[in-house]
Amino acid sequence: MLSSVRLCMSRRVAALVPRCVTSRSGGFVAAATGCKQQQRRGFSSAEPAGVRVLYDGLCPICVTEIRFLQYLQKKQPGKVDFIDISLPGYDGAKYRDVSYEMAMEEMHVIDEKDEVHRGVPAFAVMYGAVGLGWLGRFMMWAPVRPLMDKSYAIFAKNRLKWTGRGEECATGRCERKTP
């Protein structure tokens, strides 16, 4: 009886094994396979990961989140590069041809394999790189993912208006308002 309970428990625990986001499909692979490759390539090693997060440095919500993520990785500097697309020198050609306009539409993250992730999968890669992989896995979990996709789509569509920047971002690059 006790051994059957252990077997049942081990199967349930195995179902909860952390999973990683695969880079091409946005799906998951078991931790025993794909995550070890990600760990060797930088997700949890001391070598630079090459993960690049493209963010809008004029968006107060975005900047708050980026500062928190920078704080989380302060013991491992260089693990993630946070690229402010609002700076005049931003050149999308350096970042897998992600233009300023594309980056303004939705979150973009370039992983250590130089693959571009957009929207919710981008958050999963970014969170995994700073030690919040559990949050990324939760966001990508099949029962939660549709809600995350819908919520993020609403946020991305209204972000400029909600942060009081709708007018200065109507055409071309957003500019800081000068008082």
For 90-99, how does the pLDDT look when each residue is reduced to its tens digit (9 = 90+)? 999 999 999 9
Each residue of 161-172: pLDDT tens digit? Answer: 998 887 777 656
DSSP symbols for 25-65 = TS-EEEIIIIIHHHIIIIISSSS---EEEEE-TT-HHHHHH
Q: Please name every residue paired with 96 in a beta bridge, in sequence order, or none if there are none.
A: none
pLDDT-derived band at 20, boundaries 50, 70, 90 = very low
Each residue of 34-74: pLDDT tens digit? Answer: 333 333 333 333 344 489 999 999 999 999 999 999 999 88
pLDDT-derived band at 22, boundaries 50, 70, 90 = very low
Long-range contacts from 3-6, C-beta under 8 angstroms, 24+ separation? none
Pick the CATH number of 18-162 from 3.40.50, 1.10.10, 1.10.3470, 3.40.30: 3.40.30
Instruction: Give yes or no for residue 2 having a pLDDT over 80.
Output: no
